[in-house]
A and B are shown apart, each in its own frame.
Chain A
Amino acid sequence: MTGRSMWSRCVGVAFAAVLAVSMAGCGAAKPTTGDGAAAETYKVGVILSLTGSYAALGASEKNALDIEAKRINDAGGVNGKKLELLIEDDGTDEAKAVAAASKLINQENVVAILGATGTGQSMAIRSEVDRAGIPEISMAGGTAITANFDPLVFQTPWSNTLIVPFVLKKVAADGHKKIALISDSGGYGKDGLAVLKVEAPKAGLEIVSEQTFNAGDTDFSAQLTKVKSSGADAVVLWTAGKEGASIVKSAGDLSVRLPLYGGSGQAKVEFPQGAGPAAEGFIFGTGKSLVPANWGDGSEQFTVVNGFAERYKAAYGSAPDIFAGHAFDALAILEDALKRSNGDTSPKALTAAVEGTKGLVGFGGAFTFSPTNHNGLTAEDLSLYQIKSGAWNAIP
């Protein structure tokens, strides 16, 4: 063996080792809290989209879960035991979400799963959850998550069935008659589109154009050009991914001068940041808690939401968005359920405890689940917002 190829071999082995180590560091389960033997902690599986189209949502959710779990554990945990969050990244991909669920259930024996970030992923992991019998508390807003009923699955955001008619009422009130829809082809967008098609006629609106796009798309000229020539008075955008900002920006660049409306998917700072001046005047509907003051000083709702907002701001320097709020709620519901089940984490008992949640004041509103309602919120928990100069303000 010559000196040169010996050297190449060493470099090759070192290269492969570095590659292996760096890849192992990505996407592995990251325990955020918990100490001591497994028996001393509640293992909670968490599936978030830390990369991919929903990366911004997943990041907010992780931030919220980290500080809230720490707060609960520092105060002694639940029933004297600490919460151990095992976080997996699903990359906004359904197959990866299923793999993550399988790993958490089979290898880690988690007592419940918080997640996923996205609708498609939340639906995809159902088979794993059903097999294990443990509760799934989803942080995604698709109607199908609870409308397509599964006794083990709950959701913390205001589902599309609540937000869509709420937004459409405003569209009609603003005097529009013909609307164009732009939605993504993933779970949340498809779900929203289905609800929009049902609710639009009820609100007196006619859908003159339905445009869709794939996550990861970067050019929307085709869809926007067709919207322009459809004769619509207004555009309703239904997506939660990063494409939302690009679409609105493109709309501005392509001179599509129509009023724009949207849902919770735009309630994140990345939206006005990415869309720029084109987002001026954009109206969207989401929870009152996006601006805690909406609840009025002194109400229990305000105390809870503002308290969380203050803690989040202290830890991260910026106010929490709704996705952080959904994660806060998921953990709060689980904590409350664990307390009520007196630490009985057997799947049946824990699920029953979650379902028994009554009047739990959280970010989304006051959650009351029942054997037929696993969303627990109402339209009273919603508010409209408009973007002005890059920031959102509540409007009546």
Chain B
Amino acid sequence: MAFSQFLQFAIAGLKSGAIYALIALGFTIVFAATGAINFAQGEFFMLGGMIGVWLTRLGLPLPAAVVGAVALTALLGALFEVLAIRPIADGDPLRIIMVTIGGSVLIRQIALHVFGPDEMPLQGFTAGPSIMIAGAAIERQTVWIWLITALAVSALFLLYRRTMFGRAMRATSLRRDAARLVGVDTGMMVTVSFALAAGLGALAGLAVAPLTQTAFDVGAGIGVKGFAAAILGGLGNPVAAVGGGLVLGLLESMTAGYINPLYKDAVALVVLLGVLFVRPQGLFGGSGREKV
């Protein structure tokens, strides 16, 4: 009984953890390209779920709606970058951060006007009962969340390490002027990284919407948690982001299970403060020497 309880908490933790990992990845990608934190990341998560629901209401079958929502959100992410971030003189990270904060409020209000304030359900990707293991239940959608996270992480890994394009992105993040000298279109790299981050956020939003329902205001909370996860792991590399996400998810779940569920939301903030005080480079952050 005690073990099945522990297992259930662990499963819940890994489920939220995978979502936080996807959001944290989004933060990491934009940070790597611009040196700034994109505080609108949570809103991309919200847009993914909302656009997905809207597309299903227009009549599209679920797989098409999911793909469509991710693509549309990625496009919106790129548009956001081109309109709001690119014009910023010198690409100053501080200014970028401020613009993303304003952008997140704008996106949320537009979503409120377009979609209304009500919560909206999304059907699960596959129907069926939960899988029982040793007395704990794993919802089918949770398996999807894990699959999607694993796929996204592997795809990103391949992109960054094995393709010319990925090399160009890494070059941009290491030394922008040097990258430009060797012919990399750094402006395009930044736009693409925003699009990627938005797509990842949307994917997370769609994967979890069947379990939690989505609404215009879910972005802010998840943004903070994803950010805490990114800091916990270390803002440098994607593996760290995933690790940070999973660890945060487990910490939250165990706190809710063994201490008090009402403290769950405080865990991310406590972790954020703790990491910044004790080990600012995060759990997995290294010294960051890299050669492209």
User: A274 — nearest CB in chain B belongs to which residue?
Assistant: B121
Which one of A80-88, A191-199, A216-224, A295-303 is at the B interface?
A216-224
B110's partner among A22, A221, A246 (CB-CB below 8 A) is A22
Partner of A59 from the list B102, B118, B217, B253 (CB cut-off 8 Å) is B118
Known: A22-B109, A212-B261. A11 touches B87 (CB 8 A): yes
Q: Which of B87, B102, B212 contacts A19 (CB 8 A)?
A: B102
User: At the interface with chain B, which of A165-173, A248-256, A317-325, A336-344?
Assistant: A248-256
Partner of A213, one of B1, B9, B261: B261
Q: Is A23 engaged at the interface, CB distance under 8 Å to the other chain? A: yes
CB <8 Å contact, B16 and A26: no
How far is B8's CA from A56's CA once the two chains are assembled, in angstroms? 32
The distance in angstroms between the C-alpha atoms of A58 and B213, with both chains bound, is: 19
Q: Which stretch, A47-55, A103-111, A285-293, A384-392, touches the partner chain B?
A: A47-55
Give residues 327-384 of A contacting B (CB, 8 Å).
Answer: none
Give min CB distance, B173 to chain A, whole Å.
25
Chain A neighbourhood of B211, CB < 8 A: 218-219, 246, 249-250, 253
Q: How far is the CB of A141 from chain B (nearest CB, A)?
A: 20
Known: A11-B87, A22-B110. A255 touches B130 (CB 8 A): yes
Q: What are 9 A-B residue pairs whose CB atoms fall within 8 Å in the complex?
A: A216-B265, A218-B208, A219-B211, A221-B9, A225-B257, A226-B5, A246-B213, A254-B8, A254-B137
Q: Are B8 and A225 in touch, CB under 8 angstroms?
A: yes
User: Is B118's CB under 8 angstroms from A55's CB?
Assistant: yes
Closest to A241 in B: B119
| Residues of chain B from 135 to 164 with CB closer than 8 A to chain A in the complex | 137, 139
Q: State A211–B256 Cα separation when bound (angstroms).
A: 11
- Docked Cα-Cα span, A185 to B5, in Å, equals 23
**How far apart are the CA atoms of A270 and B116 in the complex, in Å?**
14
B89: chain A residues within 8 A (beta carbon):
5, 8
Among B11, B132, B217, the residue within 8 A (CB) of A51 is B217
Q: Told that A52-B117, A211-B261 touch, could you supply 8 new A-B pairs with CB distance under 8 A?
A: A25-B113, A26-B109, A218-B213, A219-B212, A221-B12, A225-B257, A229-B1, A274-B213
Which residues of A are in contact with B by a Cβ distance under 8 Å? 5, 8, 11, 15, 19, 22-23, 25-26, 50-52, 55-56, 58-59, 185, 211-214, 216-223, 225-226, 229, 242, 245-246, 249-250, 253-255, 270, 273-274, 276
What residues of chain B lie closer than 8 Å to A8, measured between beta carbons?
Answer: 87, 89
Q: Note all chain B residues with C-beta closer than 8 A to A222.
A: 9, 12, 253, 256-257, 261, 264
Which residue in A19, A51, A220, A250 is a CB contact (below 8 Å) of B112?
A51
Contact A225 B87 (CB under 8 A): no
Binding site secondary structure of chain A: helix
Cβ contact within 8 Å between B253 and A221:
yes
B262 touches A (CB below 8 Å): yes
A216: contacting residue among B12, B106, B221, CB under 8 A = B221
**Cβ contact within 8 Å between B264 and A242:** no
- Listed from nearest, the 8 A-B pairs whose CB atoms lie closest are A221-B12, A218-B212, A222-B256, A55-B117, A51-B117, A253-B139, A222-B257, A225-B8
Are B257 and A226 in contact (CB-based, < 8 A)? yes
A-contacting residues of B (Cβ < 8 Å)? 1, 5, 8-9, 11-12, 15-16, 84, 87, 89, 102, 106, 109-110, 112-113, 117-119, 121, 129-130, 132, 137, 139, 208, 211-213, 215-218, 221, 253, 256-257, 261-262, 264-265
**Inter-subunit contact A221/B221 (CB<8 Å):** no
Contact B9 A185 (CB under 8 A): no
A184 to chain B, nearest CB (A): 10
B204 to chain A, nearest CB (A): 12
Report Cα–Cα, A132/B107, bound state, in Å: 38
Enumerate chain A residues within 8 angstroms of B253, measured Cβ to Cβ: 219, 221-222
Q: Select one of B12, B118, B121, B218 contacting A219, CB under 8 A.
A: B12
Kindly provide the distance from the CB of B49 to the nearest chain A CB, expressed in whole angstroms: 11
| B262 close to A185 (CB less than 8 A) | yes
Contact across chains for A221 and B264 when beta carbons are under 8 A apart: no
B262, A214: Cβ atoms closer than 8 Å: yes
Question: Which A residues lie within 8 Å of B213 (CB)?
Answer: 218, 242, 245-246, 274
Of chain B, the residue at the smallest CB distance from A250 is B211
Whether B109 lies near A255 (C-beta < 8 A) is no
Least Cβ distance of A88 to chain B in Å?
14
| Min CB–CB distance A304 → chain B (angstroms) | 28
Residue from A25, A221, A242 with most neighbouring chain B CB atoms (10 Å): A221
Measured in the bound complex, the distance between the Cα atoms of B264 and A220 in whole Å is: 11
A residues within 8 A CB of B217? 51-52
Task: Find out whether the CB atom of B117 lies under 8 angstroms from the CB atom of A223.
Answer: no
Cα A32 to Cα B235 in complex, Å, equals 50
Contact: B262 with A270, CB < 8 Å?
no
> A268 CB to closest chain B CB, in angstroms?
11
User: Using Cβ atoms and an 8 Å threshold, which residues of chain B touch A52?
Assistant: 117, 217
Most buried by A among B117, B257, B262: B117
Contacts of A185 in B (CB 8 A): 262
Query: What residues of chain A lie closer than 8 Å to B216, measured between beta carbons?
Result: 51
Taking CB atoms, residues of chain A closer than 8 Å to B113 are 22, 25-26
Flag if A50 contacts B9 (CB, 8 Å).
no
Q: Do A225 and B5 touch (CB < 8 A)?
A: yes
Contact residue among B9, B110, B139, B208 (Cβ-Cβ distance under 8 Å from A225): B9
B112 to A219, Cβ gap below 8 A? Answer: no
Cα–Cα, bound, A22→B107 (Å): 11
Residues of B within 8 A of A25 (CB): 113
In the complex, the chain A residue whose C-beta lies closest to that of B263 is A214
Cβ contact within 8 Å between A221 and B130: no
